Each structure stands twice: as C-alpha cells, then as structure tokens.
C-alpha cells in the first residue's frame, strides 16, 4: 500500500515510537536514583518498505526493543569489589573495637602496669622487711592481673558481639539467597517471550551485589537466564530456583542441605577469611579472639599470662616470707582428676608412618609419626615418636610413655647358685634349689622381685611406693622369651627403673645389667598415655584407619562412634583421681629424681631441726603420693609419731597443716611440685581469664617470699634474694606457649604492634578499595548510569520528533483534504 494513507500510517507509527522513547526516557529520569538501575533506551529501526518500480520506499519507524545499557564484566567486577570492601569494612570495624582493648597509646595500658609490677619487686628488694613494700607488690600485682582479666573479658565480649553480628549477617544472606532464587524464577517466566526482563534483572544484580557485600561469591548466568551463585569454596548457594541456607553455631559455619526424608544434613564450611565479604571480615577477627589457639590475639594474651604465672611462681615457690608458715597452707590449684587415655600402639602396623597433619588433637595438627620395627612385640619407637608428636603440637594435653626395661634371655642357675641385686633400691635375693632352665630361673626371680616390691610398699616408712612389676618375657611383652621384664605399672609413668648390685657371674646369668632406664624410644611399653585437664578431641581423617594404628580406633568408650575417625575423651571415660598430670602446669613437674626440702621451726621461729626434711618424690603419680611422701619423710626425720606438719589432699588441692607447735618453710623444690600445686605461689590460675593473686598473700603479706631459707634454716626479714630474682624476670628471656622465647614486655609489645598493624592494614586497604570501588562505579555509570542532562536533551529530541510526526499527520490531513476537496 502506498500513498497518503501510507504516510499517515508511517506518521502514526512514528508518533507511537517517539512516545515510547519519551516513556523510556521518563523511566530513566524517574529511576535516576534507583540503586542498581541500568539506563534503558528504545531501539528504533526503520521499517522495510514496499518495493516499487522506482525502488523501495521505506515504511517508517518501528520501536523494536527496550535496550539495557548493561556491562556484564563491570557489574561482576563491582560485585566482587563489593565483597572486598565489605570484608575490609567489617575487619576495620572489628579491629577498631579490638584495638581499644590493646590501646597503649595513652600510656595507661598493660605495658605500664608491667613496669609498675616489676618496679614494685625492685622496691621490695630494697625494703624486704617493710610491709608497705609488700603491700605495693600485691597491689601492683592486682592491678596487673586486673587489667589482664579486663582485656580477656573484653576480648570475650567482642567475640560474643561479633558472633551475634555474624548471626545477623547470615540471616541476611539467607534471606537474600532465597529472594535470588525467587527472582530467578520470575525472570525465566518473564522472558519466555524473548523480551528481556530488564528491571527484574537489575533487581537481581542488586541482590547479588548485596550478597557479595556479606560473602565472597561468584555467579554465572545459565542458559535460560538464571543465575547460579557459588561460594568461594565452590559450594552452591543458589542454583536456579533452589537456595541453600547457612548456619552459624557460635564458632563454626555450616551449609544446610535438606534431605529427602525431611531432615537436613549440615556440612561444615571452612570458616575463615576466605569466605570473603563482611562475614569473612568478621570471622577473620573473630578467629583472633577465640580461645584455645595459642597463635591468635586471645591465645597470645593467655600465653603471656601463663608465662607470667609460671615464671613468677617458679621463683616465688622456692622462697620464704618474713617468717615460717604458722598454720595451714592450701595450694591454689586443684586437680580433682586427670583425664587419662591409655592406648597401645598397634604392633602389626609398627612400620607404618603417619604423615604430618593426618591427626589432630583439639584442632591442633600433629607432626609426622615415624614407624619403626617393633621390639619383642611392642611398637616402642613408634609410640615414642607419637608421644613426641603429641607434645610438640601443644594441644593442651600431655603425652607420656611408660618405662619398660627388659633383660636378655639368661642361661638359668644351677642348684645352689645365688643371685642378689637391687631393683630401685629394693634388695632381691634368690638361691636356686635345683638346676633350672632360663625360663624357670626368670619365673622364680620375677616372683622374688614382685614379693620384695610388695614388702617394700607395705613398709610404713616407704616414702613413695614403687609402682613397678616384673614379668617373664615371652617375645610379645617387650622382652625376649626367658628374659626378665620390669615395667612401671602406672600408665604414663616415665620414671626410671634402676638395677644395681649385679656383679657376680651368677647374677649375670639372669640377663640383667646394672643401670637406670627411663622411658625412651627403646624402653617403653609401646603404650601412649595422654593426660589432660579436661576432655579432648582427636581427629584422624574420615575413618578410624589412622586412629587404629595408635590403638585409638572406634569403641574406645560407649559414646564413641566407631569408624568416624574421631573421638572425644573425657574424665567420665577414664581419669586418675588427683593425678599429678592433671595440673595446668604439669609439664613443669620434674618428679623423677626431684625432691622438696621442708624446714621445720619452733613457735619462736627458730629452726626446730638444723637441717631440712628432704622429701624425695621420685615415682609420685598422684597428689596423695606426694602427701604420703611428705608425711613419711617428716615423721621419719623428726622421729615424732605425728607429723609436725602434715600434708593432705583436700578436694584435689595439696594442703599443709602444722600441728600447732611447729612452723614450716620450703626450699629447693627441684620437683617443682609447689609451683605446680600452687603452694607458696604468688599467682594462681593458668591463663588470662583465671590469673589471680594467691588469696593467702592478700591475707598475710608476710607470706610474700622476698627471701630464701638460708643454709642453716635462717629466715632473714632483710633477705631480698628472691625479690631481686623475680624483679630480674623483667629482662629475662622466658618461653611462651608455642615455643617462642622473649621477654614478657617484648612479647606483649609485639602483640600490641601486631594488633595495631592488623588494624592499620585494614584501614589502608579499605581506603584503597573504596577508591577502586568508586572508580568502578564511575565506569559502570559511564555506560549504565542515567545522565539527567542527556535525558533532558533526549526529551527535547523525542519531543521534536514527535512534533514532526504530528506535523506529518496534519500534512497528510491537508493532503487528503485538498484531494477530497477536488472531488
């Protein structure tokens, strides 16, 4: 069709198209401030005209599509930049708060209190007999520990707050991911007619961007226009119409997957800074504040407190105050029970090594455990390697071997031949009644040894009973067939077994040699004993294969799920009542060969004896053993029936009670039992949360040990030996959990500057990334942003086009009129 009506038609179409353009422009103008809005424009094309003899005459204009000025690449860049900024923002916010805890800038922080604390010991060294100086030490100690406790509590509180914030963030992410799934469906529905759901897509991009603010995610578009959202570790958060929820349980992040049976399975996500976004940022700071990690801020504060307590107490417990102790002295540390897991390393797998990182205890990864040939049926070397690996991991547990000493197969005694030797000082003698085989001799001598030990242990003057037994070797118990095997009966007792007095040919026929053996790679029972203060968790892969090698496989106790590669072992499973290894500072104990001197005084503070009572503690396993050794030694030394000072165990605490007519003081505690049990110590507790001043000191300042007992038992009020040594700790290199060695001031200063540096780098990075983000936004806006000036200009353009089209109609009208008029 051609002619005027065609012109009219073209004009009509043009009117419609320009009206549409105006509409699109007004949509743009009205959304000028809508976040995520992408500028749209109407795509106009000319309509192919009808071919005429003179050629083709165009058919006017046609509005074909509303186009989004969208840049996929830059949008994705912005969304990932959003994650980065969110991450840094969250980190910066959290650091701001953490920083205030460590804020030393004003000069009134822990550093200053440390200086005051050491200075007070120096002042005490100058005036050991002044009560005021003693008061000052206790007060500066209280100020110091008060601040440490405050810092600990603050860090706890911040980590609690962060956990709450995390919770909220995750709720938000869950809400957004659900919305994303919904909008995915809407878009698929809206776009079936080949047209693009521009505004829905803008909304969806905005949701992705919001999620990216909280979590580092990547997204890609599916065939039918839906988005799939992946977490940084590759787990899908949203896929088409399905979304997965996240859950935060206070310290772990889980991905919930609904199962067919209506339950949900929870999968643990690696919760660290790799999560990205605000959540990643919060988690990264949150992890610095979590307990039981000696490398984070909280853990290093604990380390500092632990070292302070250990170093001060180890000196303080060796000292003495103004006068001997008059009444009752109770240790600050209680050890109701020591959790003990005893397991036998599987002999059949003795040669197999366990690579580093395969096992973890309380989340601390263990180093490699080397396999080695088993000796007479016991995987001794592997057990020793396992014990070393556990101890080096510093996982809050202590591993110990149990001593075993095996002789060689003897030749047997002939009738009338005698042997005489001593085991740990206990005399054993045996005379063969008839000619014996090696095995008969071994069996007879073993029974003699066990009888002699029983008699020794039954003797009331024995300080610490011998926890030792003899058995005949059979090739599977650590000794060759027919040999004599001696082993400690208490699990994890590495104390030495000594044999002496073997010097005749007959003695030599037993296959025993003189000497002392303590538990080492070739003298142990092939068992691992793991002691802990509280329940601990061991993990070793997804099945029990590795745990089985160490004898820790499924079914260790009724609650242990077999085959899951992990178990938790607590006091309810097995514990040693009042076991020494349950003390927080049990690793300081030097029981084997260790002793403690107790000086006894009359009521006028003159020494009641010219020498101290030396209590040998070798072999002590529980606190009761220690108490018994002390009481036996004291009564043995004084000759009195009742001990002048009695040791007892009350609710897991070591208590010394005088008989009312004597006093006592301590010296030369080479076993470190006082320090460990908190007797005669300055601090109590074991970390930043538990540190406190020994309550007895606040009651009686005279107990503050500025001096040491003199060689003749003298206690001089002017003695400053101990005070000077404690003051010297300020510049001493001491060891910290985790193995570093530094001065306490230095350790703390390093921690402060690290917190500062962490905060500073978050600040810096945030500034940079915000700039980057604003530049990216600018780039995005340069294509997708609405420019009002541009739209205004367009409006005029469209308006004029519209007017021109209208002019066409009026012109056609005139043409028609003039045509009709001629008729």
User: Which of 164, 351, 771, 803: binder of other proteins (CB under 8 A)?
Assistant: 771
745 binds other proteins, rule: CB under 8 A = yes
User: Three-state SS for 303?
Assistant: helix
CB of residue 758 vs other proteins: minimum separation in angstroms?
A: 8
CB of residue 256 vs other proteins: minimum separation in angstroms?
A: 37
754 binds other proteins, rule: CB under 8 A = yes
Please check whether residue 280 is in contact with residue 169, taking contact to mean a CB–CB distance below 8 angstroms: no
In the region spanning residues 80 to 99, those forming contacts with other proteins, defined by CB under 8 A, are: 95, 99
Nearer to other proteins, 322 or 691 (CB): 322
| DSSP alpha helix (H) spans, 338-400 | 380-393
CB of residue 662 vs other proteins: minimum separation in angstroms?
A: 14
Strand partners, 600: 664
Report the distance separating Cα 781 and Cα 74, nearest Å: 10
- DSSP labels, 197-266: -HHHHHHHHHHHHHHHHHS-EEEEE-TTS-EEEEETTS-EEEETTEE-EEEE-SS-EEEEEE-TTS-EEE
The stretch near other proteins (CB under 8 A) out of 368-376, 404-412, 498-506, 748-756 is 748-756
The stretch near other proteins (CB under 8 A) out of 115-123, 231-239, 329-337, 619-627 is 115-123
The stretch near other proteins (CB under 8 A) out of 125-133, 293-301, 413-421, 554-562 is 125-133
Nearer to other proteins, 412 or 612 (CB): 612
CB of residue 731 vs other proteins: minimum separation in angstroms?
A: 4
> What is the DSSP secondary structure assignment for residue 346, as one 8-state letter?
P
Nearer to other proteins, 244 or 666 (CB): 666
User: Which of 19, 31, 65, 115: binder of other proteins (CB under 8 A)?
Assistant: 115
Distances, alpha carbon 300 to alpha carbons 296, 404, 563, 720, 727, in Å: 6, 38, 36, 32, 22
770 binds other proteins, rule: CB under 8 A = yes
In the region spanning residues 593 to 652, those forming contacts with other proteins, defined by CB under 8 A, are: 604, 606-607, 609-611, 637
CB of residue 788 vs other proteins: minimum separation in angstroms?
A: 6
158 binds other proteins, rule: CB under 8 A = no
* CA terminus-to-terminus distance, the chain: 22
- How many residues touch other proteins under the rule CB under 8 A: the total is 85
User: Which of 171, 218, 545, 749: binder of other proteins (CB under 8 A)?
Assistant: 749
Strand partners, 33: none
450 binds other proteins, rule: CB under 8 A = no
For residue 529, give the nearest of 380, 343, 346 by alpha carbon: 343
Nearer to other proteins, 709 or 805 (CB): 709
Please check whether residue 80 is in contact with residue 211, taking contact to mean a CB–CB distance below 8 angstroms: no
Q: Tell me the two tokens of residue 510.
A: 């037993």
CB of residue 591 vs other proteins: minimum separation in angstroms?
A: 23
Nearer to other proteins, 621 or 666 (CB): 666
User: Three-state SS for 728?
Assistant: helix
787 binds other proteins, rule: CB under 8 A = yes
User: Which of 123, 333, 507, 592: binder of other proteins (CB under 8 A)?
Assistant: 123
φ/ψ (deg, to 5) at 6 = -65, -40
Pairing label, strands 364-365, 692-693: unpaired
Question: Burial of 2 by CB count in 10 Å (0-12 exposed, 13-18 middle, 19+ buried)?
Answer: exposed
118 binds other proteins, rule: CB under 8 A = yes
2 binds other proteins, rule: CB under 8 A = no
Distances, alpha carbon 225 to alpha carbons 24, 78, 189, 194, 228, in Å: 23, 20, 10, 11, 10
In the region spanning residues 380 to 419, those forming contacts with other proteins, defined by CB under 8 A, are: none
CB of residue 763 vs other proteins: minimum separation in angstroms?
A: 6
Q: How many CB atoms lie within 10 A of CB 386?
A: 26
CB of residue 206 vs other proteins: minimum separation in angstroms?
A: 15
Tracing tokens 């010394």 back to the chain, one arrives at: 656
User: Which of 116, 228, 462, 698: binder of other proteins (CB under 8 A)?
Assistant: 116
Nearer to other proteins, 117 or 585 (CB): 117
The stretch near other proteins (CB under 8 A) out of 3-11, 127-135, 145-153, 649-657 is 127-135
User: Which of 763, 806, 811, 816: binder of other proteins (CB under 8 A)?
Assistant: 763
| DSSP alpha helix (H) spans, 482-544 | 505-508
Nearer to other proteins, 3 or 35 (CB): 35
Distances, alpha carbon 218 to alpha carbons 103, 189, 596, 766, in Å: 38, 24, 66, 21
Report the distance separating Cα 151 and Cα 108, nearest Å: 13
Please check whether residue 387 is in contact with residue 528, taking contact to mean a CB–CB distance below 8 angstroms: yes
User: Which of 2, 356, 792, 803: binder of other proteins (CB under 8 A)?
Assistant: 792
Please check whether residue 647 is in contact with residue 655, taking contact to mean a CB–CB distance below 8 angstroms: yes
CB of residue 498 vs other proteins: minimum separation in angstroms?
A: 21
Helices (H) and strands (E) in the chain, counts: 17, 36
User: Which of 103, 328, 450, 543: binder of other proteins (CB under 8 A)?
Assistant: 103
Report the distance separating Cα 679 and Cα 650, nearest Å: 13
777 binds other proteins, rule: CB under 8 A = yes
Report the distance separating Cα 760 and Cα 501, nearest Å: 69
Distances, alpha carbon 54 to alpha carbons 2, 7, 60, 614, 674, in Å: 13, 17, 18, 128, 116
Please check whether residue 786 is in contact with residue 24, taking contact to mean a CB–CB distance below 8 angstroms: no
Nearer to other proteins, 268 or 781 (CB): 781
119 binds other proteins, rule: CB under 8 A = yes
Nearer to other proteins, 104 or 292 (CB): 104
Sign of CA dihedral 721, 723, 729, 734: positive
322 binds other proteins, rule: CB under 8 A = yes
CB of residue 730 vs other proteins: minimum separation in angstroms?
A: 7
What is the Cα Rg of the chain in Å?
41
The stretch near other proteins (CB under 8 A) out of 15-23, 119-127, 278-286, 679-687 is 119-127
Please check whether residue 337 is in contact with residue 329, taking contact to mean a CB–CB distance below 8 angstroms: no
Report the distance separating Cα 394 and Cα 589, nearest Å: 16
User: Which of 107, 458, 460, 739: binder of other proteins (CB under 8 A)?
Assistant: 107
425 binds other proteins, rule: CB under 8 A = no
Nearer to other proteins, 64 or 731 (CB): 731
774 binds other proteins, rule: CB under 8 A = yes
Nearer to other proteins, 111 or 347 (CB): 111
Nearer to other proteins, 425 or 718 (CB): 718
Nearer to other proteins, 121 or 254 (CB): 121
Report the distance separating Cα 329 and Cα 350, nearest Å: 49
759 binds other proteins, rule: CB under 8 A = yes
Nearer to other proteins, 100 or 810 (CB): 100
In the region spanning residues 31 to 70, those forming contacts with other proteins, defined by CB under 8 A, are: 32-33
In the region spanning residues 666 to 725, those forming contacts with other proteins, defined by CB under 8 A, are: 707, 710-721, 724
For residue 571, give the nearest of 557, 585, 586 by alpha carbon: 557
User: Which of 125, 176, 596, 709: binder of other proteins (CB under 8 A)?
Assistant: 125
767 binds other proteins, rule: CB under 8 A = yes
Nearer to other proteins, 466 or 645 (CB): 645
In the region spanning residues 482 to 511, those forming contacts with other proteins, defined by CB under 8 A, are: none
Tracing tokens 């008699």 back to the chain, one arrives at: 455
User: Which of 366, 506, 727, 805: binder of other proteins (CB under 8 A)?
Assistant: 727
User: Which of 185, 455, 757, 803: binder of other proteins (CB under 8 A)?
Assistant: 757
């Amino acid at each position: 069709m051609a002619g005027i009506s065609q012109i009219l038609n073209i004009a009509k179409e043009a009117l419609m198209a320009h009206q549409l353009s105006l509409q699109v422009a007004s949509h743009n103008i009205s959304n000028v401030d809508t976040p995520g809005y992408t500028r749209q424009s109407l795509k106009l094309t000319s309509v192919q005209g009808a071919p005429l003899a003179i050629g083709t005459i165009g058919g006017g204009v046609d509005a074909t599509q509303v186009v989004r000025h969208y840049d996929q690449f830059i949008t994705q860049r912005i969304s990932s930049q959003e994650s980065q900024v969110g991450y840094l923002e969250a980190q910066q916010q959290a650091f701001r708060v953490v920083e205030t805890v460590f804020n030393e800038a004003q000069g009134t922080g822990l550093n200053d209190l440390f200086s005051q604390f050491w200075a007070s010991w120096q002042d005490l060294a100058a005036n050991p007999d002044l009560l005021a100086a003693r008061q000052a030490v206790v007060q500066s100690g209280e100020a110091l520990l008060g601040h440490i406790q405050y810092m600990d509590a603050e860090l706890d509180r911040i980590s609690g707050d962060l956990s709450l914030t995390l919770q909220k963030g995750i709720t938000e992410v869950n809400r957004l991911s659900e919305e994303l799934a919904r909008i995915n469906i809407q878009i698929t529905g809206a776009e079936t007619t080949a047209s693009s759901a521009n505004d829905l897509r803008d909304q969806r991009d905005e949701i992705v961007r919001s999620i990216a603010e909280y979590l580092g995610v990547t997204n890609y578009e599916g065939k039918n226009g839906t988005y799939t959202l992946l977490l940084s570790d590759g787990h899908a958060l949203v896929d088409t119409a399905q979304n997965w929820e996240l859950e935060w349980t206070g310290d772990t992040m889980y991905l919930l997957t609904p199962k067919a049976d209506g339950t949900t399975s929870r999968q643990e996500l690696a919760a660290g800074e790799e999560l990205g976004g605000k959540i990643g940022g919060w988690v990264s700071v949150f992890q610095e504040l979590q307990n039981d990690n000696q490398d984070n801020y909280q853990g290093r504060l604990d380390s500092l407190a632990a070292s302070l307590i250990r170093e001060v107490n180890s000196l303080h417990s060796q000292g003495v105050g103004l006068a001997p102790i008059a009444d009752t002295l109770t240790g600050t540390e209680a050890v109701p029970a020591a959790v003990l897991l005893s397991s036998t390393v599987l002999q059949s797998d003795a040669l197999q090594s366990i690579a580093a990182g395969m096992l973890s205890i309380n989340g601390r990864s263990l180093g490699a455990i080397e396999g080695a040939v088993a000796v007479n049926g016991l995987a001794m070397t592997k057990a020793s390697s396992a014990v070393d690996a556990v101890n080096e991991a510093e996982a809050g547990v202590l591993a110990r071997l149990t001593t075993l000493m095996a002789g060689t197969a003897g030749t047997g005694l002939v009738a009338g031949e005698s042997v005489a030797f001593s085991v740990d000082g206990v005399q054993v003698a045996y005379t063969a009644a008839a000619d014996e085989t090696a095995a008969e001799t071994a069996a007879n001598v073993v029974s003699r040894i066990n009888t002699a030990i029983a008699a020794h242990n039954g003797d009331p003057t024995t300080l610490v009973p011998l926890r030792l037994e003899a058995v005949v070797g059979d090739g599977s118990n650590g000794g060759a067939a027919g040999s004599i095997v001696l082993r400690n009966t208490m699990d994890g007792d590495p104390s030495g077994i000594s044999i002496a007095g073997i010097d005749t040919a007959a003695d030599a026929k037993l296959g025993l040699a003189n000497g002392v053996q303590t538990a080492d790679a070739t003298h142990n029972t092939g068992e691992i004993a793991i002691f802990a203060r509280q329940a601990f968790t061991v993990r070793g892969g997804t099945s029990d294969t590795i745990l089985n090698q160490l004898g820790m496989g499924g079914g260790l106790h009724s609650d242990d799920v077999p085959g899951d590669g992990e178990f938790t072992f607590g006091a309810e499973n097995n514990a040693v009542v009042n076991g020494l290894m349950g003390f927080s500072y049990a690793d300081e104990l030097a029981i084997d060969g260790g002793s403690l001197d107790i000086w006894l005084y009359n009521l006028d503070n003159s020494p009641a004896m010219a020498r101290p009572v030396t209590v040998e503690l070798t072999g002590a396993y529980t606190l009761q053993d220690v108490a018994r050794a002390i009481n036996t030694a004291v009564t043995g030394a004084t000759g009195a029936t009742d001990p002048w000072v009695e040791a007892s165990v009350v609710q897991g605490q070591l208590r010394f009670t005088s008989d009312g007519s004597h006093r006592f003081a301590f010296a030369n505690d080479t076993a470190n039992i006082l320090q460990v049990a908190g007797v005669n110590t300055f601090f109590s507790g074991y970390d930043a949360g538990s540190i406190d001043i020994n309550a007895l000191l606040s009651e009686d300042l005279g107990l503050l040990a500025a001096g040491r007992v003199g060689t003749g038992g003298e206690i001089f009020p002017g003695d400053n030996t101990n005070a000077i040594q404690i003051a010297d700790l300020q510049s001493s290199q001491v060891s910290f959990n985790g193995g570093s060695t530094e001065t306490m001031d230095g350790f703390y200063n390093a921690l402060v500057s690290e917190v500062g540096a962490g905060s500073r780098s978050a600040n810096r990075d945030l500034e940079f990334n915000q700039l980057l983000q604003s530049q990216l936004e600018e780039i995005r806006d340069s294509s997708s942003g609405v420019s009002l000036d541009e739209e205004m200009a367009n409006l005029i353009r469209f308006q004029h086009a519209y007017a021109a089209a209208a002019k066409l109609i009026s012109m056609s009208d005139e043409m028609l009129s003039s045509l009709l008029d001629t008729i």
